[in-house]
């Protein structure tokens, strides 16, 4: 095996570990913000695997669509939910 192939295999297993760890963190985290960070790691790992496959366009779409739009919606959901929780505590 050439050094480039070994490097590619190592990077693939690293990205796969990040994706699997992010998915498990998403499931097992207690707080929503921590789950969101795990989901971000998972999306970045998937984008890295797309780059390894030579699909740079899919990696860019993955980052733009999921990390930008979906995470923004989740962030607003967290902020609105947190506000309702705080208002209920003071009543």
pTM, two decimal places: 0.75
Split at pLDDT 50, 70, 90, the class of 36 is confident
Question: Tell me, what DSSP letter sits at residue 11?
Answer: H
Split at pLDDT 50, 70, 90, the class of 50 is very high
Please give the Cα distance from 43 to 26 (Å, whole number): 11
- The more confident residue out of 20 and 64 is 20
Question: Tell me, what DSSP letter sits at residue 66?
Answer: I
Average pLDDT over residues 58-63: 90
Q: What is the CATH number of domain 3-90?
A: 1.20.120.1200
Please report, rounded to a whole number, the percentage of residues in the chain having pLDDT higher than 90.
44
């Amino acid at each position: 095996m050439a050094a480039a192939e070994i490097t590619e295999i190592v990077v693939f297993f690293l990205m796969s570990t990040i994706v699997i760890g992010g998915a498990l963190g998403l499931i097992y985290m207690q707080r929503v913000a921590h789950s969101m960070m795990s989901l971000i790691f998972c999306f970045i790992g998937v984008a890295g695997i797309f780059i390894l496959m030579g699909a740079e366009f899919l990696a860019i779409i993955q980052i733009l669509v999921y990390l930008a739009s979906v995470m923004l919606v989740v962030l607003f959901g967290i902020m609105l939910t947190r506000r309702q929780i705080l208002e209920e505590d003071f009543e």
